[in-house]
């Protein structure tokens, strides 16, 4: 009998590829989505049709994730639970937002809600949460001298998140606070299941969902924008300084579920000791795809990228028995995949970003 796993927000950028990775590893996958229309559209993706037809993949509806018992029904019969859902801010300039109401509380309470539901099912052995490297580092500081690890923590507190000077900083604070709330829950309730925190850096790579090229805001936009748009604006968003390959991320999650040694840990996901930004992609593309060099956007000579930091993921590689790809390999592989799969055509009619 194969193990079964619940993936919340399964139609998301990361969650879609996680679902495929676990299906390929032999798991029965159940995913949560908000509406039946989204479930139908996601199950119709080419990568999933055969799995759904074989009864190895299903979707259930979960609307408001912060209500008590939101995931109760979805978790029936599940051995494992990966919680991926996070509320993102409105990135548009000039938009007034109540960060507490729209970002902090949904992300904190949604995480705790997931754990409370898992605690009701003795069959559920482990919960793995999709956090962010932002939970481990303060993005408001331009340059960091310390190396970031899975044991690092973003020092920002709830009050800062409420009054953050930028939506990104409200979001990064919410990820730290959600992780903190999760570990507090474990200490206070001592549930039967294990908890693992995964802290991915910016995620790039071949993807299998509805938005593989980043048109609707996934992190692949920072690669596709440089590759396909001569008017790309390097000044308005970072997309770095550390990235993780989607393929490595999926490997890490499968290993985190399957290895008992992962239990009770936070893992930084990305290669150690390297820093790279989208402005660095341009020179990589010019060398790797010389026929496209004249189409690439110019990098401003006075550009200052921030924040700058590096991570140490040696513990992740050791415990999960894996090796992260280099940033260059990820960037080149992803670019080639986008070119071969008509990414340029998809980006042709996209308006200017940010």
CATH code where residue 298 lies? 3.90.25
Asked whether residue 22 is domain-assigned, the answer is no
Asked whether residue 51 is domain-assigned, the answer is no
Asked whether residue 338 is domain-assigned, the answer is yes
Asked whether residue 231 is domain-assigned, the answer is yes
Q: Is the predicted pLDDT of residue 132 greater than 60, yes or no?
A: yes
Span 301-326, pLDDT tens digits: 999 999 999 999 999 999 999 999 99
Q: Is the predicted pLDDT of residue 296 greater than 60, yes or no?
A: yes
Domain that holds residue 293: 209-242+272-347
Report pLDDT for 95.
81
Report pLDDT for 92.
72
Q: Is the predicted pLDDT of residue 112 greater than 70, yes or no?
A: yes
Q: What is the 3-state secondary structure (H, E, C) of the chain?
A: CCCEEEECCCCCHHHHHHHHHHHHCCCEEEEEECCHHHHHHHHCCCCCHHHHHCCCEEEEECCCCCCCCCCCCCCCCCCEEEECCCCCCCCCCCCCCCHHHHHHHHHHHHHHHHHHHHCCCCCCCEEEEECCHHHCCCCCCCECCCCECCCCCCCCCHHHHHCCCCHHHHHHHHHHHHHHHHHHHHHHHCCCCEEEEEEECEEECCCCCCCCCCCCCCCCHHHHHHHHCCCCCCCCCCCCCCEEEHHHHHHHHHHHHHCHHHCCCEEEECCCCCCCCHHHHHHHHHHHCHHHHHHCCCCCCCCCCCCECCECCHHHHHHHCCCCCCHHHHHHHHHHHHHHCCHHHHHCCCCCCC
Asked whether residue 318 is domain-assigned, the answer is yes
Asked whether residue 238 is domain-assigned, the answer is yes
How does the average pLDDT of the chain come out, rounded? 96
Instruction: Give the pLDDT band of residue 352 (cuts 50, 70, 90).
Output: low
Asked whether residue 300 is domain-assigned, the answer is yes
Provide mean pLDDT across the span 19-28: 99
Q: Is the predicted pLDDT of residue 354 greater than 80, yes or no?
A: no
Which pTM value belongs to this model?
Answer: 0.96
Asked whether residue 86 is domain-assigned, the answer is no
Q: How many domains does the chain have?
A: 1
């Amino acid at each position: 009998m194969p193990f079964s796993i619940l993936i919340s927000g399964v139609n998301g950028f990361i969650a879609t590829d996680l679902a495929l990775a676990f299906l390929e590893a032999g798991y029965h996958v159940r995913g949560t989505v908000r509406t039946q229309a989204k479930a139908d559209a996601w199950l119709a993706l080419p990568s999933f049709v055969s799995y759904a037809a074989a009864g190895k993949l299903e979707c259930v509806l979960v609307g408001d994730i912060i209500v008590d018992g939101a995931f109760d029904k979805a978790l029936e019969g599940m051995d494992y639970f990966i919680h991926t859902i996070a509320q993102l801010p409105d990135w548009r300039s000039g938009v007034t937002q109540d960060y507490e109401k729209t970002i902090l509380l949904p992300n904190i309470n949604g995480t705790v809600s997931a754990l409370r539901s898992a605690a009701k099912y003795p069959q559920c052995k482990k919960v793995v949460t999709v956090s962010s490297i932002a939970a481990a580092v303060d993005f408001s500081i331009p340059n960091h001298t310390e190396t970031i690890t899975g044991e690092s923590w973003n020092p920002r507190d709830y009050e800062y998140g409420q009054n953050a000077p930028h939506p990104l900083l409200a979001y990064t604070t919410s990820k730290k606070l959600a992780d903190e709330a999760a570990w507090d829950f474990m200490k206070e309730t001592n549930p039967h299941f294990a908890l693992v925190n995964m802290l991915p850096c910016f995620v790039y790579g071949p993807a299998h969902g509805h938005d593989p090229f980043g048109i609707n805001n996934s992190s692949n936009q920072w690669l596709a924008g440089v590759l396909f748009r001569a008017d790309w604006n390097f000044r308005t968003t970072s997309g770095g300084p550390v990235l993780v390959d989607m393929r490595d991320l999926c490997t890490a999650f499968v290993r985190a579920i399957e290895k008992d040694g992962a239990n009770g840990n936070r893992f930084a996901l990305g290669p150690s000791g390297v820093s790279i930004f989208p402005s660095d992609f341009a020179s990589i593309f010019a060398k790797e795809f010389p026929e496209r060099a004249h189409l690439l956007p110019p990098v401003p000579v006075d550009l200052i990228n921030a924040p700058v930091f590096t991570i140490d993921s040696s513990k992740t590689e050791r415990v999960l028995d894996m090796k992260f790809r280099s940033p260059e390999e990820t960037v080149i592989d992803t670019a080639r995949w986008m070119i071969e799969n008509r990414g340029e055509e998809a980006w042709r009619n996209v308006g200017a970003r940010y």
